[in-house]
Each structure stands twice: as C-alpha cells, then as structure tokens.
Amino acid sequence: MVAAKRIVMVGIPGVGKTSLVNVIVERIRASGRTIQVKSFGSAMLEEAERIGIHDRDALRCLPTNEQEDLQRTAAERIAAEECDIVIIDTHAFISTTSGYYPGLPENILHIIKPTNYVSVSAKPEEIYNRRMNDPTRHRDMVTMNVIKQEMDLQAAMISACSVVSGSPVKPVVNREGRLDETANDVIRALGL
C-alpha cells in the first residue's frame, strides 16, 4: 500500500527544508506512526551514481534530458514507499544552464500523486546568510535580488503543481531560530 499522505516540501536552497523535515520526523515518530523522508536530490543522485556522477551539486549541470530520466526513475522509487507518511524534500525548480527547470513537471506529479504541498520561505537576507554559513555544500553564489526572484518563481511553480494535482499548498515562513515553531505550523495545518 502506498503512503496515505505524500507531502511535497519545496523551498529554495538554504531556506531550511532539511532542517525542518528533521524536526517534523522526530515528532511524528514519537507519536508511533511510520514516516519516510525522501530527498529528491538524494534519490536522483543514487540513480546518477550508476552513470558515474557522485556530486549532488553536479546534477543540475547535466543536460535536461538526462535530468529528466533521473527524475522519473527517482519518482518511481519514491512512489513505491510503504508507510503512513512520506515527505519529499525537493525544489520547485532547479537553476540549469538553459533556465529554470521544474522540479515537479506534470509526468512526475502523476507518478508521485502528492496529497499536500508545503512551500517554505524565509527572509531573503536569512536565506543568503544560511547559504553562506553552510560549509558542507557547494552552493551557487547569488545576490539578494536573485533570491527574491527565486521565491516568486517558487510560488508560481507550486501553484501550477497544486492545480495539476488538485492538492492544497501550505505556505510557511521558516523564521531565524524558530524551526520548532515552523514545524508545529506544518504539523497543525496538515493534521499530522
């Protein structure tokens, strides 16, 4: 049986999705339910390793047709997950050399069939600082203006996904130092 709730969480790099998901998972597991987190990037990287790519930040530099193949096989694996809740940690779009590529094109939505979307945002200056202060990742350098544009694009992309799936979007703001509060907001809104 596939998961009853298939929650897609999107946010631009550094907004705090992974940190937020970790808090949510801890709370759900404490309540005795089964929950799986699938990082779309990691699932794609597992597929990419078969063709010799080992750096997750190199994925977005592949030709878009190769990214598409990796995306589809990763989605099929995620959709087969058997538990009460699956959270898919991903991006509404990916910056590629050809422009912004949808993280969730229609064919992927038909495979995953999300029941809910969570659209994570934060103040642009906080996102900027979180990116700069995270030495574990190879993040693209950007300006504050680009971060603002990316958040507008995220809202547009996720609205389109919501219409295709007929599933609601919960916007949340991940305020500095308030991860617990943001996690509670998601748990309450989605009835987790």
Interacting residues with Mg ion (CB under 5 A): 18
Q: Shortest distance, CB of residue 17 to ligand ATP, whole angstroms? A: 4
CA 137 centroid distance within chain: 16
Could you say which of 67, 103, 174, 183 contacts ligand ATP (CB under 6 A)? 174
Could you say which of 32, 99, 177, 191 contacts ligand ATP (CB under 6 A)? 177
Q: Dihedral of the CA atoms 99, 104, 105, 109 (nearest 10)?
A: 180
Question: Residue 185 gets which letter from DSSP?
Answer: H
Instruction: Round to whole Å and give the CA distance between 138 and 141.
Output: 9
The residue (of 18 and 143) whose beta carbon lies closer to Mg ion is 18
**11: contact with ligand ATP by CB under 6 A:** yes
Residues 35-94 that bind ligand ATP (CB under 6 A): none
Could you say which of 29, 168, 176, 188 contacts ligand ATP (CB under 6 A)? 176
Q: What angle do CA 95, 68, 49 make, to 5 degrees?
A: 90
Question: Residue 33 gets which letter from DSSP?
Answer: -
The 123-162 site mask, x for binding ligand ATP (CB under 6 A), equals: -------x---x--x-------------------------
Structure tokens at 34: 């089964």
The residue (of 49 and 134) whose beta carbon lies closer to ligand ATP is 134
For the chain, give percent helix, strand, coil, nearest 5. Answer: 50, 20, 30
Site residues for ligand ATP per CB under 6 A: 11, 13-19, 130, 134, 137, 174, 176-179
